Chains A and B, each alone.
Chain A
Amino acid sequence: MLVTLSTTHVPATDLGFLLHKNPARAQQVDVSTGTAHVFYPEADEHRCTAALLLEVDPIGLVRTARAGGDDGALAQYVNDRPYAASSLLAVALGKAFSSARRGVSKERPELVDVALPLEVHIPALSCRGGVEMAHRYFAPLGWRVDATAVPLDETLPDWGESRYVDLRLTGELRLADALNHLYVALPVLDDAKHYWIGTDEIEKLLRAGSGWLATHPERDLITRRYLGHRTALSRRAIERLAEVDDADPEALDDAIAPPLAAAGGPQIADGEDDSADRPVPLALQRHGAVLAALRSAGAQRVIDLGCGAGALLPALLAERAFTEILGVDVSARALEVAARRLRFDRLPERQRARIKLLQSGLTYTDARLRGYDAAVLMEVIEHLDLDRLPALEHAVFGAAAPATVVVTTPNSEYNVRFEGLPAGTFRHRDHRFEWTRAQFAAWAAAVGDRYGYTARLLGVGDDDPDVGTPTQMAVFTRATVTGVAA
């Protein structure tokens, strides 16, 4: 990965004094990920260019990442890190030009605070958000930005653009500012999830951003990206399964994410994106409606099936009438998050005794789910392939067989009311189906018939005269048996 920095200040070779690197010879700086070479492709009175080339050791990168823990992307030998400009280059830049970045020059102290005519070239900048993002970052800092998207594969034009940008910047800036802009830009634009954030990163950001970050219009985005994306819980098992299937680990991860995005926040419970659904209170209305149904059934011992990271659990826990709450999800990771969000370790003993979490698959019967008063399937069924639904029906209505089952699912008729949701698409990429009111009613009736429940259908959310409510709900009540066997 390469970055070059040129000046046309006269004499241009002063750049060597400012960078503390002699233009007359190539130098090497060792960094943890490999070797950085500093050399000058050109150095004369009128134009001087310093180049920083970081040679990453790809094998070392993989092996250290493996030793260091659980970082998915770095564990790949086929990795853009040795080629694309990213945080690794920022580290090398910081180390190779540390004095210059601090604005210190023994030989040319008078030039340190002078805006110099500068050019920067990064041929392959990893840039999430593409050309536009590069403009948003650099233009407010006084650079003229010339950015071109790199095609993914020039021999396969159908594939379009890659996430790399060939970036050229020109402007008159203090050298230290220019270097700090780059130092922060590389990780921020790369926005890779695997960028490790040490505890001193806040300090580093504040130092490097001194004098420009506070007034940058994208300040919040820069800060969030720079400090964000800690890899949280281990995703190892899931990632490995993705690997053997040649699937993108991200795709698997995103499929898990929706329930995770659920709790709190102004988001819609199942992660429908903002454009698709007014975030205001639909999730809360859904919680309300579910709670109302449970109250009306007089349920005390309730199961939240497909609880995810626990969108509904806090609401259940807050209600004393529920003496026993069981959160069930197929994802062990989601349950870990739920336990943390509910602060299991700090809940008072009595509260803690009321709630349990359990991993189980809803297409399997599970004896541990028997004997509860009510079960909630809130925005769950649409995440199952239609041909697996009968197995869920049997597991819930046939085997667990609580007296009451509350099911919510999107009303697909309402989708036309979501601006920005293209016709014919689902509200969420993991939805396997979305039903009209008639389809849902037919399903509810059939399940009721089959398993001896009667179903009441209700809408949740504002009731549009043409397309109904955004969410539809069915409350199943087990038919009372005619008597007890003699």
Chain B
Amino acid sequence: MITPTEERPTGEPRTVVVPDLCLVVLIGVSGSGKSTFARRHFRGTQVLSSDFCRGLVADDENDQSATPEAFALLHHIAGVRLRAGRLTVVDATNVKREDRASLVALAREHDVLPVAIVLDVPEGECLARNAARPDRDIAPGVIRRQRSDLRRGLRGLRREGFRKVHVLDGTAEIDRAVITYEKAYNDRREDTGPFDVVGDVHGCRAELEELLDELGYELRRDEHGRPVDAEHPAGRRAIFVGDLVDRGPDSPGVLRLVMGMVAAGHALCVPGNHENKLVRALRGRNVQITHGLERTLAQLEAEDDDFRRQVEEFCYGLVSHYVFDGGALVVAHAGLKESLQGRASARVRDFALYGETTGETDEFGLPVRYPWATEYRGRAMVLYGHTPVPTPEWINNTLCLDTGCVFGGRLTALRYPERELVSVAAKQTYYEPARPFLAEGEAAPLSEPRRRDDVLDVADVLGKRVVETRLSGRVTVREENAAAAIEVMSRFAVAPEQLLYLPPTMSPSATSTRPGLLEHPAEAFAYFRGEGVAEVVCQEKHMGSRAVAVVRRDGSGVLHTRTGRSFFGPELTAAFLGRLGTAAEKAGLFDEFDTDWLLLDAELLPWSVKAGDLIRSQYAAVGAAARTALPAAVAALEQAAARGLEIGEVLDRQRRRVADVEAFSQVYRRYCWPTDGLSGVAFAPFQLLASAGATYSDRPHAWHLAVADRLAEADPDLVRSTRSLTVDVTDPTSETAATAWWEEMTAVGGEGMVVKPAANLTRGRRGVVQPGLKVRGREYLRLIYGPDYTEPQHLERLRERSLGRKRGLALREYALGLEGLERLARGEPLWRVHECVFAVLALESEPVDPRL
């Protein structure tokens, strides 16, 4: 390809302004230098050329028969880019109106502005350039036709929907062109506040004055005593969510104050649907004078023309919505879903003004609103008004601040970033609502069922998911694991709003090479020493079933297994939680942590409570078969040996197996005892996971066990404490003592112990350290590896076990568990917590050796 002679641009730069995010449509005949222009001013990845797409679909950039497919491809790629919020440049002739129309439609579909840049180059030059290109063979007639199409369309580009049109006349101007970017009007991401976001005022000037005062603003008044500005001494600014006017007693007064604040830089304002309608009314458009507009117009009659003109200009100039604070805060009158935030289109404006409607009207003749907030999954906090609610309620990080002041409710503001609500009561009911305004405590209206944020969507959990965790970055959940987990979650788990945490899996210590053993404390100590952890705590393992309890002060809550099933039926659960709640109250835990609820990680005993069926059908059955078959085999072999047959080692082996099975039976029996209701049931907590607004992963384990001990003291029949031993892994005598402790516990069939960093959550050289390693006893492991796993030829093979996957899984689940707890503590929406809980369950279906 021949590059056209590069002339150094001379003279004044020709500025071409384009928005940050837009669809740039280059327009120019073949040979007008579009590709060169695009290359010079945009990144290669931003430019989509029709020639290139033709090449992709037909292996020939000049194959005109491939044009329809090439454009289909181009539109697709452009759509994907725009959806992701990336500026995109279309490099094609675009001289025909219909070609441009489809691009304008594409831009609108993604709520970005279409921009036209026309390269208007004389025909002769284009012909010369095409002639110089050996890969092109374009008839002169084609160029002429393109050029006449182009000229014809030039005037109408704005009418076609292009929001900016730049016509670069001739090569010289093209060469002088400099692209400059302009921010969208709604883009105030650099503005971090602090703000006071005020709900719908609707002409309630007195209440607004009171609220601003309450918020700490100092009002400034004109010579008539009318407030015309308010300034916060600390430099805070007010943001009004719109609907300043209509229905209330003094819309002009509200406007005067807000316009003054905006002009002084003390406030920002987005338009409400009432401002929108007011503008049209003031401009003499045919609007229905209803819904309180009649009052505003009447009140404005008393004002002078100048004021009315200012009002009209002010309301007309309002920007549909604002994005603040690096994208963390969005303010729009009726809210805004994530895909429209920061975008610009008629659709964005409509949504911001009216919200999402289903196109139907309810029995009061009002539009049926679609509850977009229940589906909202965006990261930005969205503050809005528009629909009066009795009390503001967070729904998925969105909050409606319209508390119906004009209907006799309250005028409410939210302090940002503090998230504190401030409100003042209406002095009277100024206007009767079309639909009954709800008194506090009344049920939600029919069209808005379940407007709390406990609505979960399958898109929150299904498919391949990536969960961001503070601890370990991105944790991926594979699609098939999610598919397996949704079934368990839907059919067997307790309700998601109750299921706040699932415990992570735990890895065993590295495999021991000591004779007769698979696991030994030495490897666990060595691991932590290698990670730079000096002090560890050894906690006795109770060999019950892992249990998570949420216990509330009133005795409600939930007690579930590690896959989220309820342990007991409703009555026994209630009895259990009643006891546990009383114990926590008695131990003073609710008061101490200033909470109504506690989330506890624990072990529930005996094992037979949950696993009774499994113990009988698997463990006891194996014991029964073995205890019957093996002595018979021994007897037969002894008889044969007595006859003088060469039996060899078989007999010895069978005798050893008899002993092994006896040992095996002793172990499972140890973990089974009868229970009746709660009698016989023991709960052994070992960690306080969370309480209202707090997590405790940074508290040392000794602290957690002390909390558990207080519970045990308060109800010794139900709550069992956990024995533990602190070990300095750099001190051999300390290690020896712990090993002896472990040996003593496990010799009689005890499950073993868990070794944890004493400080709890610990980071080592390669990221987070394993939160715990289990070291299981030799006898106990018969339940895992079979009654006679201790036979040397078995043990040797069993030592070939690989812990890598298990360790990785343990860390990922740990990170997810803590992430979920932290989100819970921050008061994030349910779906954000559920995402983590669900991911733990999904990871549990990963194929990892279940014996580890």
Query: Which residues of B have CB within 8 Å of A153?
Result: 620, 623-624, 665, 669
A428 to chain B, nearest CB (A): 13
Instruction: Given A153-B620, A240-B844, A240-B847, check contact A364 B460 (CB 8 Å).
Output: yes
- A 80-138 contacts with B by CB, 8 A: 80, 82-85, 121, 123-124, 126
Question: Would you give the shortest CB distance from A279 to chain B, in whole angstroms?
Answer: 26
CA distance A256 to B788 in the complex (A): 35
Asked whether B489 is an interface residue with its Cβ less than 8 Å from the other chain, the reply is yes
Which one of B241-249, B634-642, B708-716 is at the interface? B634-642
Contact flag A450-B672 (CB < 8 Å), given A26-B646, A364-B458, A485-B367: no
A385 CA to B648 CA, complexed, in Å: 60
Q: Give B619-639 interface residues, CB cut-off 8 Å to A.
A: 619-630, 632-633, 635-637, 639
Residue of B362, B374, B454, B646 touching A25 (CB-CB under 8 A): B646
> Which residues of chain A in 330-366 are interfacial with respect to chain B, using CB atoms and an 8 Å cutoff?
330-332, 359-366
Complex: how many Å from CA A39 to CA B480? 52
Q: A83-B625, A164-B624, A332-B487 are known contacts. Are A155 and B786 too (CB-CB below 8 A)?
A: no
Contact assessment for A77 and B640 in the assembled complex, using a CB-CB cutoff below 8 Å: no
Contact with B along A185-202 (1 / 0, CB 8 A): 000000000000000000
Given contacts A236-B847, A391-B456, A485-B368, contact A241 B484 (CB under 8 A): yes
Q: Are A484 and B360 in contact, CB atoms less than 8 angstroms apart?
A: yes
Q: Quick one: given A51-B636, A124-B625, A482-B361, are A365 and B455 in contact (CB under 8 Å)? A: yes
Chain B, interface SS category: helix
Task: Establish whether residues B449 and A245, one from each chain, have CB atoms under 8 Å apart when the complex forms.
Answer: no
- Determine whether the beta carbon of A246 is less than 8 Å from that of B610: yes
Q: Is B481 an interface residue (CB 8 A)?
A: yes
Q: Which residues of B contact A238 (CB under 8 A)?
A: 484, 487-488
A37 interfacial contact with B, CB 8 Å: yes
Could you jot down 7 A-B contacts, CB within 8 Å? Answer: A42-B643, A78-B787, A156-B620, A163-B621, A245-B565, A246-B545, A388-B495
Instruction: Evaluate contact between A2 and B360: CB separation under 8 angstroms.
Output: no
A456 to chain B, nearest CB (A): 20
Tell me whether B640 and A26 are in contact (CB under 8 A). Answer: yes
Contact B797 A59 (CB under 8 A): yes
**Chain B residues whose CB sits within 8 angstroms of the CB of A39 once the complex forms:** 636-637, 640, 645, 647
User: Which candidate, A247-255, A407-415, A465-473, is the interface stretch facing chain B?
Assistant: A247-255
Cβ contacts A61-80/B at 8 Å (1 or 0 each): 00100000000000011111
List chain B residues, Cβ under 8 A from A123. Answer: 628-629, 632-633
Q: Measured between alpha carbons, how far is A238 from B480 in the docked complex, in Å?
A: 11
The smallest beta-carbon distance between A266 and chain B, in angstroms, is 27
Whether the Cβ atoms of A42 and B639 lie closer than 8 Å is yes
> 1/0 per position for A229-250, CB-CB distance to B under 8 A?
0000000111011011111101
CB pair A2–B636 under 8 Å, yes or no, is yes
* CB under 8 Å from chain A, chain B span 465-523: 480-481, 483-492, 494-496, 505
Closest residue of chain B to A42 (Cβ to Cβ) is B639
Closest to A365 in B: B457
Chain A residues positioned under 8 Å from B648 (CB to CB): 26
The answer to whether A360 and B458 touch across the interface, beta carbons within 8 angstroms, is: yes
Number of interface residues of B (CB under 8 A): 102
Binary interface profile of A, 148-169, with partner B (CB < 8 Å = 1, else 0)? Answer: 0011111110110011101000
A13 vs chain B, min Cβ distance (A): 12
Q: Which residues on the A side are within 8 Å of B460 (C-beta)?
A: 364
Do A162 and B624 touch across chains, with their CB atoms under 8 A apart? yes
* Contact status B620-A159, CB under 8 Å: yes
- Taken together as a complex, chains A and B put the C-alpha atoms of A484 and B787 apart, in Å, by 73
The 6 lowest CB-CB distance pairs between A and B, nearest first, are A237-B484, A41-B639, A77-B786, A361-B490, A123-B632, A83-B625
In Å, the complex CA distance between A54 and B496 comes to 50
Q: In the complex the two chains form, is A83's CB within 8 Å of B630's CB?
A: yes
Cβ–Cβ contact B449 & A41, under 8 A: no
In the bound complex, how far is the Cα of B489 from the Cα of A359, in angstroms? 13
Interface residue tally of chain A, by bracket?
A: 35 or more
- On whether the beta carbons of A152 and B621 are closer than 8 Å, the reply is yes
Distance of A150 Cα from B621 Cα, bound (Å): 10
Cα distance, A367 to B565, chains bound together (Å): 27
B747 within 8 A of partner (CB): no
Hey, which chain B residues are within 8 Å of A158, CB to CB? Answer: 674
A367 to B367, CA, bound (A): 21
Q: Is the CB of A78 within 8 A of B786?
A: yes
Residue contact B447 to A452, C-beta cutoff 8 Å: yes
- Additional pairs, 8, CB under 8 Å, beyond known A361-B487, A364-B457, A384-B491: A26-B640, A40-B640, A53-B637, A78-B786, A152-B620, A152-B621, A244-B562, A452-B446
CB of A401 to closest CB in B, whole Å: 9
Bound-state Cα–Cα, A155 to B668, Å: 12
Q: A residues within 8 A CB of B629?
A: 1-2, 83-85, 123-124
Known pairs A42-B639, A367-B457; A394 contacts B491 (CB<8 A): no
Residues A162 and B620 in contact in the complex (CB < 8 Å), given A365-B458, A483-B361: yes
Listed residue (B454, B462, B636, B646) with the most chain A CB atoms within 10 angstroms of its CB = B636
Cβ A241 vs Cβ B456 within 8 A: no
A154 → chain B, closest Cβ, in Å? 8
A164: which B residues are within 8 A, CB to CB?
Answer: 621, 624-625, 628
Residues of B within 8 A of A256 (CB): 487
Once bound together, how far apart are the Cα atoms of A481 and B621, in whole Å?
63
Can you name the residue of chain B whose Cβ is closest to the Cβ of A395?
B455
**Residue of B357, B446, B622, B629 most packed against chain A (CB within 10 A):** B629
Q: Which of B662-701 contact A (CB under 8 A)?
A: 665, 669, 672, 674
Query: CA of A26 to CA of B648 in the docked complex: distance in angstroms?
Result: 9
Q: Which residues of B contact A397 (CB under 8 A)?
A: 449
Which A residues are in CB contact (< 8 Å) with B628? 83, 123-124, 150, 164, 166
Which residue of the partner chain A has the closest CB to B561? A245
CB-CB < 8 A to B462: which residues of A? 359-360
Q: Which residue of B lies closest to A359 (CB)?
A: B483
Check if A361 sits within 8 Å of B614, measured CB to CB.
Answer: no
Q: Which residues of A have CB within 8 Å of B788?
A: 58
State the CA gap A162–B627 with chains docked (Å): 12
- Nearest to B481 among chain A residues (CB) is A237
A383 interface residue, CB < 8 Å from B? yes
Query: Which chain B residues lie closer than 8 Å to A246 at the CB level?
Result: 545, 607, 610-611, 614
- B234 in the interface, Cβ–Cβ < 8 Å? no
Which chain B residues border A26 with CB–CB below 8 Å?
640, 645-648, 650
Given A26-B646, A123-B628, A241-B563, CB of A485 within 8 Å of CB of B456? no
| Cβ-based interface call for B851 (8 A) | yes
Q: How far is the CA of A126 from the CA of B495 in the complex (A)?
A: 41
- Cβ–Cβ contact A77 & B359, under 8 A: no
Known A-B contacts A51-B640, A80-B621, A153-B669; the reply to A398 vs B646 at CB < 8 A is: no
A-side contacts of B643, CB under 8 Å? 40-43
Q: How far, in Å, is B650 (CB) from chain A's closest CB? A: 6
